[in-house]
Amino acid sequence: MMTFTSPDKFTLVQGEDKLQDYFFNKEIINHLFCTACGIRSFARGKTPTGDDMVMINIRCLDDVDVFAQPTKQYDGKSA
């Protein structure tokens, strides 16, 4: 499950030395994953309006109940 925020509201506390970039599809979002455990922790890119954004895997956040978060269904197959 991912959430989005502006870069000024995002702080990476630790582990930057373990991150590796990867790009796919249109290669416009810089996805990052941990080389130690393989989790896709967050990504940096632009919103559809061109603003900078950070997309965060909320499973990487302390004290967040993933199952209590509202979700939005997306039909990726038909997109």
Domain of residue 27, CATH code: 2.170.150.70
Average pLDDT over residues 31-51: 87
Q: How many structural domains does the chain have?
A: 1
Q: What is the mean pLDDT of the chain?
A: 86
Give residue 30's domain range.
2-9+17-61
pTM of the complete model: 0.71
Give the long-range contacts of residues 10-18, CB within 8 A, separation 24 or more: 10/42, 10/54, 10/56, 12/42, 15/41
Determine how many CB atoms are found less than 10 A away from the CB of residue 41.
19
Give the pLDDT confidence of 49-63 residue by residue, as tens digits.
889 999 999 888 888
Burial class (CB in 10 A: 0-12, 13-18, 19+), 42: buried
**Is residue 73 in some structural domain?**
no
